Amino acid sequence: MNIAEIALKVPLSRTFDYQLPDELVSQVGIGKRVLVSFGNRNLVGVIVGYKNSSDVPGDKLKAISAVLDDTAILNTRHLQFLRFCSQYYCHPLGETLFTALPAPLREGQPIDKLAVKMLRLLEPSAKLRGKKQQELLDYLKSSGTTSINHVRALGFTTAQINALLEKAIAAEFSAEAADWREQTIEIAAKPTLNQEQAAACAAIKLSRGFQSFLLEGITGSGKTEVYLQALEDILLLGKQALVLVPEIGLTPQTVSRFRRRFPGLAIELWHSNLTDNERLQVWRRVEQQSCAIVIGTRSSIFLPFAELGMIIVDEEHDASFKQQDSLRYHARDLAAYRAAQGNFPLLLGSATPALETLHKALTGKYQLLSLTRRAETSTHNQFLLIDMKAQQAPQGFAAATLVHIERTLARGKQVMVFLNRRGFAPTLICHQCGWLSACHRCSTNATYHKGIAQLICHHCAEQQPVPKQCPDCGSTQIMPTGFGTEQIAEFLQQRFATTPLTRIDRDSTRKKGSFEQALEDIHQGGARLLVGTQMLAKGHHFPDVALVVILDVDAGLYSCDFRATEHLAQLIVQVAGRAGRSGEAGMVLLQTHYPEHPLLQDLVNNGYQHFARYALTERQEAHLPPYNHLALIRAEGHNQNQVLQFLSDLVPVQPLCGIQLLGPLPAPMERIAGKFRYQLHLQADARNLLHHYLAQLADYINSHPLANRIRWSIDVDPMDM
Ligand code: ADP
Ligand code: ZN
Ligand code: ZN
């Protein structure tokens, strides 16, 4: 065994053979990083195996230059998990491993360089002028020595921490992190579970080894409470837990709830705003047992927990769990693998489960646990469909909608208006010739942003000044058509001039801290009218909202994406869940041109649970997931013919047994940033057939002459078609 198989971060779906020099034999090991020369570069690689012989002739075989680790950074079990991930998603092993690793490790930095940075209070009686600085000081007084990571996770900024350090009120020092299991676990006061919650919790606690649960519970039914109480036993056994949350769901509210329940317990956060070094710290802490719980977004699924005892996926239907480029993994699905591998329970929670998950629960693969009542109140929201047909609605609002808004505001309650389109208007139109503002590089419109007087493409970010005259006919009669949040907010502010209004979308929250500020305004009750996109919809608990208005549901009713109605229903329920959270029932208005649409009727009258079960029967009839398995081969490039040629070459001459192949078809957005985009659809009755075929196809693609002239990717279980 004098040859090592090394995974490198290169876009080739194979590993590379390197000779083991005698002087390094005692240092190497599977899962350790090495330095090797590749082409004319030095690359960091990971040893994934050994062999006696190689296809590369002996005199061409290069030797490993150096071994970077004393102990493996990926243990056998974790390597096995990442291998599965690479195979399942048809993604090169090297790129998969390097996706999982935090940047400093990818770059070959030593792993044990980082001890935990701690804060110790020197001057407890100091008085500080800064309010937050004083708060930090008070916190340190009560908590004693604390890690800087922890303090930052509580919302204190580096500037505030530095202020204390500069004034010598606190000192920083490095420490070996303590084992979290040496602490006694404290559990703060908690509510008594209601009957449904108790039954759910008992089922989870009674499970032995691997078992998946779907906790299907309406908004506010106490799912989080079930997570918290189900975790107790796991923690008491000395096992760690991972709580996966949607990108936008990692709110201070969620986090503080976990912290309050388990005071003093080492809980780490994982999200896209961490620095590379903070990521490495979390990576190390879970591996070294100095952290008990991680609350994290999708990529936390790759963390190397020493002894994981449970994974919870909150809002399991959320689209942000699927990565949409390079390694196109789904964190929820990988969670199922990890739970099976580690032989522990997996808990998926949602008010609006994905149809895939619901199907598994209804067919007995997952255990279904239902929460049907709101925990604190017994009210249900009232839905009202507003028929927009033949309505005068020059500002996007039906007259009836405005009356409801006015009445609700008059009662001193908050109103939330939801529209999933930012900007002022989706396009400008020429009144004379019908010219529409379009992006030059994409097959789509350019959105009008009035505040900054620009036309912006929401796909490639191209910006153009707003033309004074129509580029086609010279007319000056060009006007916005359609509505975006900017326009809606402007109109409402004019109409309800004395009512404080807050707008929340990507544009209004671009400045750092402005999102938090806006949420704060809403909580303090300052803002009475809330206008926003999806950002406003998820997870926040606004107790004063009594009316939710959803301006446009029609786009989702008639889309070519077969998941559009599912996503629309999830969105409606999610947005509706913002209303009526404190006692009195909320009202939800849906503006639509199709009030008689069976989906809307079912959803409004019978709820998501009923709708979803009906939608499943439709999927079955149409042979669509979850009754069928899909993969997509995407290709894009500046040369349209090459892209088409490449995909056409992948279509076999003979029909395949058990697999349907469709295409090449234009992607829903045929051109983005000047590139043409096409795709092949693969559909199979059995998953193993699909994977078997994809593996062959990946080999063939790699040998195709066009494979490195255009961009291509394989997407297994694609979410957007
Ligand atoms: P979900 O996660 O399903 O939206 P939460 O767990 O956030 O629901 O519960 C909604 C509210 O009800 C929270 O304020 C929570 O503290 C409270 N709550 C949950 N379970 C109970 C219970 N058994 N008794 C009293 N209050 C509860
Ligand atoms: Zn014109
Ligand atoms: Zn564009």
Task: Assess whether the C-beta atom of 254 lies below 6 angstroms from ligand 1.
Answer: no
Confirm whether residue 433 is marked as ligand binding. Answer: yes
Q: How far is CA 638 from the centre of its chain?
A: 30
Task: Assess whether the C-beta atom of 249 lies below 6 angstroms from ligand 1.
Answer: no
Q: Which residue from 225, 255, 347, 352 has its CB within 8 A of the most atoms of ligand 1, so it is best to mutate?
A: 225
**Residue 41 confidence (pLDDT):** 92
Residue range 285-332, pLDDT digits in tens: 899 999 999 999 999 999 999 999 999 999 999 999 999 999 999 999
Residues of 544-574 as b/e, b for ≥16 C-beta within 10 angstroms?
Answer: bbbbbbbbbbbebeeeeeebbbbbbbbbbbb
**Residue 363 confidence (pLDDT):** 96
Atom 24 of ligand 1, residue of closest alpha carbon: 191
Residue range 355-365, pLDDT digits in tens: 999 999 999 99
* Ligand in nearest proximity to the CA of 463: 3
Task: Assess whether the C-beta atom of 219 lies below 6 angstroms from ligand 1.
Answer: yes
Confidence class for position 56, pLDDT limits 50, 70, 90: confident
Alpha-helical segments (H) within 463-588: 485-495, 514-523, 534-537, 554-557, 564-576
Say if residue 70's pLDDT is above 80.
yes
Task: Assess whether the C-beta atom of 225 lies below 6 angstroms from ligand 1.
Answer: yes
Write out the two tokens for 611. 């709708």
Ligand 1 atom closest to the CA of 192, numbered from 1: 23
By C-alpha distance, which of 182, 168, 161, 191 is closest to 238? 182
Alpha-helical segments (H) within 411-561: 485-495, 514-523, 534-537, 554-557
pTM: 0.89
* Ligand in nearest proximity to the CA of 441: 3
DSSP string spanning 273-285? Answer: TS-HHHHHHHHHH
Residue range 513-542, pLDDT digits in tens: 788 788 888 877 788 999 999 888 765 667
Task: Assess whether the C-beta atom of 194 lies below 6 angstroms from ligand 1.
Answer: yes
Say if residue 51's pLDDT is above 80.
yes
Confirm whether residue 457 is marked as ligand binding. Answer: yes
CB 95, CB 9: distance < 8 Å = yes
**Residue 114 confidence (pLDDT):** 52
By C-alpha distance, which of 278, 288, 339 is closest to 312? 339
Task: Report the percentage of the chain scoring pLDDT > 70.
Answer: 98
Distance 578 CA to ligand 1 centre (A): 14
For 597, other C-beta atoms within 10 Å of its C-beta total: 17
Q: Which residue from 190, 224, 373 has its CB within 8 A of the most atoms of ligand 1, so it is best to mutate?
A: 224
Distance 485 CA to ligand 3 centre (A): 20
* Ligand in nearest proximity to the CA of 230: 1
Residue range 100-154, pLDDT digits in tens: 999 999 999 888 655 667 888 888 888 888 888 888 888 888 777 787 877 887 7
For 673, other C-beta atoms within 10 Å of its C-beta total: 16
* Ligand in nearest proximity to the CA of 543: 1
Task: Assess whether the C-beta atom of 260 lies below 6 angstroms from ligand 1.
Answer: no
Confirm whether residue 473 is marked as ligand binding. Answer: yes
Distance 477 CA to ligand 1 centre (A): 54
Ligand 1 atom closest to the CA of 314, numbered from 1: 2
Task: Assess whether the C-beta atom of 191 lies below 6 angstroms from ligand 1.
Answer: yes
**Residue 582 confidence (pLDDT):** 66
Confirm whether residue 560 is marked as ligand binding. Answer: no
- Round the average pLDDT of the chain to a whole number and report it: 91
Confirm whether residue 442 is marked as ligand binding. Answer: yes
Atom 20 of ligand 1, residue of closest alpha carbon: 222
